[in-house]
Structure 1
Amino acid sequence: MTSGPEADLERSCVPSITSRGRRAALLTDDGVRIEAAYEPRTPGVPAGQNGGTDGRPEDLAIVLAHGFTGALDRPALRRAAAAFRERAAVVTFSFRGHGGSGGHSTLGDREVGDLAAAVRWARSLGHRRVATVGFSMGGSVVLRHAALHRPGERRGRTDAHADAVVAVSAPARWYYRGTPSMRRLHWVVTRPTGRLVSRLGLRTRIHPDDWNPVPLSPTDAAPLIAPTPLLIVHGTRDPYFPLDHPRMLMAAADPAATDLWIEPGFGHAENAADAGLLGRIGDWLTERPPGTATG
């Protein structure tokens, strides 16, 4: 019987190899099938100073967690994946209820399990260092995932913890309705007509039930992440979450392990992230070993 990382891969997904990498169907701990893709680092492009735990870029994989209504094959996530592939291998996936994945979206609650499955898959492919980068809803997920899956803990066949975490355009607290964009989003999520619009127009299936219990908030998760390095990125022109959100996260996190970037003119999540910002995030991930931040 096969054991080790190869067995993890066989039991956790159904892989298919393509010329650009491989596609897989990952199975979460609660039985939801998640579509995922793996792409190696772009050949011939130099990585950062510390691409992996022993200086080899191949040791690092970056797992991208998209925002609400995003998916593995959406152009904005593909653009982000291409930028990060210049520095490391990249895993992309669609959260439950999105794209070709099964289940229904729970707006960041059970999605922690989707991210854990993707991180385990990256480790099963031989990557000793795995970083998570989340956008908007995905930003809240990478924060909660890092708090709930700590280094040294094994909640499955392979470690699901992240060695570095980046939250881009993430909310700090639940039920925020302080901007027109968030009021529209709450209408989509809470009304049957809104969920129908989401399913037909946005290709996103939303779970109709309220949270019970209410999950750990991003702000409550932030202090539990250290000593894992954390980068919080937020734009001054974010139409969903104003600047009190990243500042709340920073105030709650360990300052010795956390960096905060307030980006002038930046809007929201992967749709607004340009190549320059994505490249700087990639450099932040590749130029520091686990357990450090720039302060």
Structure 2
Amino acid sequence: MPPPVFRFAPSPNGYLHLGHAFSALLNADLARASGGQLLLRIEDIDRTRCRPEFEQAIYQDLSWLGIGWDGEVRRQSDHLELYRDAVTQLASMGLIYPAFETRAEIARLVADKEAASPWPRDPDGAPLYPGNGKQLSPAQRDELIAAGVPYALRLNMSAAIALAGELSWQELGKGPDGETGTIAARPQAWGDVIVARKETPTSYHLSVVIDDALQGVTEVVRGADLFWSTSVHRLLQHLLGLPAPVYRHHALLRDAEGRKLSKSTGSTGLRELRAAGVTPAEIRTLVGLAAPI
């Protein structure tokens, strides 16, 4: 049996914090203990938020932590054509459609629906897509596209599930409520998810499954906040004929108020800790990892 392949895949939209350190160190420890490989992927499809200085800081922080990686770094922005091909494949199966509502219009539609009764939300708490993109005729869609109206390409979830049937994944870690072992996928909980936009030919869900497959990743080790996203990933893997890795979701590090560490909330960054004289060994202690053997 070939050695396992792990990956650490940060987005360069801010500086790394202790939560990233925990995930990176855990991946490195597991790769070392199993005689496997650790790959580094830069998930930079969001060109409005990702910046070169954040990418360079990722390399600096990982090097300071003593984390090396195998092979070349894979940057998602270098592989947009592969994601376009996957979108074309899904379109040829009749599984995606353009939706033209803006975020503000979607918010208004949700508010109107919730005035009558609760509107369903996905596992992250966001409302499911409430629009009528699926009901537009081909002629209506073509007219809007020709007029230059922005759109998102959404997965027709009911059609995709009907084609794929029941799916599951192998969980070596634990979900938010302690779920482990064979987990039944529930992609329907996400509604008609976005797989690409007019200006960006992919999404997190789509690019991550393609990259994991092309890089030969066999074990995905990531935070428990992505546990139920695996349902969508398993569905896309099945539809696109991609292999399924095993998953190991880990607990999230939280701040004093119980919130998960986040770039957006200014959680303590590795560069600040390094500047304050904290050592890599002390970082391992802070995140609850023993010294590597």
Range class of TM-score, shorter chain: under 0.3
TM-score, normalised to structure 1, is 0.28
More strand by share: 1
User: Larger relative CO (CA 8 A, sep 6+): 1 or 2?
Assistant: 2
Calculate the TM-score normalised by the size of structure 2. Answer: 0.28
Which has more helix, going by share of residues? 2
